[in-house]
Structure formats: structure tokens, C-alpha cells
């Protein structure tokens, strides 16, 4: 397993065709998320790992959380499983600050919680 720095990219480097994996919890997701993201909360990650591998196929996985701590842990796990993954620096707060689109479950304006 890799213990050094994990690979990371800024939000501007996440391509539209990339697999964006949001590992925030359900309440954070409901407040605001990227429309195309796959949502697998970190607390459910191990039991739902198959969903990620199915979607990842031969694509790089861009892992995001609120700030970057949880996503860094998940990125490290994915790399250990042989999956091409990178952490998204600054998380969804950086996504929102960069003006990237957010959607929610219809409860007022989408925002990062």
C-alpha cells in the first residue's frame, strides 16, 4: 500500500467524461452535488465498492468530499486495489468556489454543506 503523497488534481482538471466519486454523507449530498457524480458515502464505501469498480471500468476516478480528507483516504484505498484514482484538491468547497455547477434535491439553492 502507498503511504506517501497521493495523486491529486484541482477542480479545473476534472474532465467532463471523468468519473467523479463523491464520498460525502447523505445530508451533504442532498444540499448540493455535481450532477454527474457517483455518490457512495465513505461510511458505506466497503460494502458498495462493487458500484465503483463497475463504473470505473477503464476510467480514472476523481474522488471528492467536502474539503479533501475523506476523499484522500478513499483515493489511497482505491490505489491499493489497483484502480486509477486521484483526490480532488479542496473538495466540493473548491468546486463551488470555482463556479462549477451544483444540483440538489430541490430544497432551495444548491450549496456545499
Q: Which residues participate in catalysis according to the annotation?
A: 65
Cβ-proximal residues to 27 (8 Å cutoff; 6+ apart), any chain: 113
Cβ-proximal residues to 34 (8 Å cutoff; 6+ apart), any chain: 20, 22, 64, 92, 95, 100, 101, 102, 103
Per-residue CA distances from 109 to 9, 31, 101, 103, 112 (Å): 27, 8, 11, 8, 10
Amino acid at each position: 500500500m502507498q503511504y506517501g503523497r497521493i495523486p491529486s488534481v484541482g477542480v479545473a482538471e476534472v474532465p467532463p467524461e471523468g468519473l467523479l466519486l463523491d464520498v460525502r454523507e447523505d445530508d451533504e449530498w442532498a444540499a448540493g452535488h455535481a450532477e454527474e457524480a457517483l455518490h457512495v458515502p465513505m461510511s458505506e464505501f466497503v460494502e458498495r465498492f462493487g458500484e465503483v469498480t463497475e463504473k470505473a471500468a477503464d476510467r480514472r476516478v476523481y474522488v471528492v468530499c467536502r474539503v479533501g480528507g475523506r476523499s484522500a483516504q478513499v483515493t489511497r484505498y482505491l490505489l491499493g486495489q489497483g484502480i486509477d484514482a486521484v483526490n480532488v484538491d479542496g473538495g466540493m468547497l473548491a468546486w463551488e468556489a470555482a463556479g462549477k455547477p451544483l444540483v440538489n434535491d430541490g430544497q432551495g439553492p444548491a450549496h456545499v454543506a
